[in-house]
Amino acid sequence: MKNITYTRAQQLPGILAQRIAILDGAMGTMIQRFKLGEAQYRGEGYTGPGGQGDRFKDFHRDIKGNNELLSLTRPDVISDIHERYLAAGADLIETNTFGATTVAQADYDMGELAYEMNVVSAKLARAACDKYSTPDKPRFVAGALGPTPKTASISPDVNDPGARNVTFEELRAAYYEQTKGLVEGGADVILVETIFDTLNAKAALFAVDEYFEASGERLPILISGTVTDASGRILSGQTVTAFWHSVRHAQPLAIGLNCALGAALMRPYIQELHKVAPDTFISCYPNAGLPNPMSDTGFDETPDVTSRLVREFAAEGLVNILGGCCGTTPDHIGAIAQAVAPVATRSLNRNYFYKDAA
């Protein structure tokens, strides 16, 4: 991988080479703790900075569950969550934009709000990072690009294998708008995450590169796939190795895995990434174990369990970035940060690809 001159987060590559960086945990898990109702999602009762007043009071669809809208209607909730993760020790926090694309927001008839959601979400995360940053510990905003609820590679109709409910161009346009909003709002890093369809991810990476070319910006890119079952493949059928070779052209600062199986079952796939991508930093932010609807967070693992498991990844020299996905909280992130603080970060072999090709 050739060296890239970044226009933002220039310190991050050096940090990853020196120590394990900490990513934040679940946004949705924390939002659930506020027990917001339909009226609260519409902004009722909030009169603080950035409030929307009656803007969504009479919106024609139910919008409870549209977590990305909360950046507009309840910015206090999103800022509070960001600050809790930063206080726990996170170096990078994700914007509240997992579903902030025109494709995903179409489920709520709010596609036209996607750009605004990304700008405002990035600004909220930027303000939180600026509040907690110090010269010795800068904090970074990771602009999150989620997978959308549609897949470009797989038919939604079992009776018609050739059917598709989204095109590459639709995804590209949606991701371009999202990237533009995130960068303009103050993101330091672009995180293409929870990838279950490599073609969706390629549309995102194409759009990101297109925006970089048009704007002159060049932010570090983090790419994170999700292994959906014990076969070790993402939903669209690729192994971890095949997935990496499909996206390495984007020259990400880090490649990794998140969500899905939890740390215990994710380990062999992180080991696989470590072997096939020795010239790239590795990230890992698993769920707090497997889902359990009876648990308070929907997952069983307590902070001490999750932190012990991911510390084993660090001790084995497999990772450069650690964090949490579904079911994790600031307590989980604090425990992870403390557990891996004394452990060395994974070293890189920058010449590996060229030697291998020769």
Please give the annotated binding residues for Zn(2+), written as ranges.
Answer: 259, 325-326
Our measurement of the distance from residue 238's CA atom to the centroid of its chain's CA atoms, rounded to an integer in Å, reads: 20
Q: Which residues are annotated as a binding site?
A: 259, 325-326
Q: Is 194 helix (H, G, I), strand (E, B) or coil?
A: strand
The vertex-130 CA angle with 124 and 134, nearest 5°, equals 155
Beta bridge partners of 145: 192
What order of strands is seen across the sheet that includes strand 321-322? 21-22, 321-322, 281-286, 254-259, 221-225, 189-195, 140-145, 92-94
Q: Are 155 and 91 in contact (CB under 8 A)?
A: no
> What are the tokens at 78?
């999103």
The vertex-145 CA angle with 304 and 2, nearest 5°, equals 95
Beta bridge partners of 269: none
* Side-chain half-sphere exposure of 320, counting CA atoms within 13 A: 23
Q: Are 4 and 251 in contact (CB under 8 A)?
A: yes
- Which segments of 89-191 does DSSP mark as H helices, in order? 102-105, 114-132, 168-185
**DSSP structure class, residue 317:** T
Strand 221-225 to 21-22 pairing? unpaired
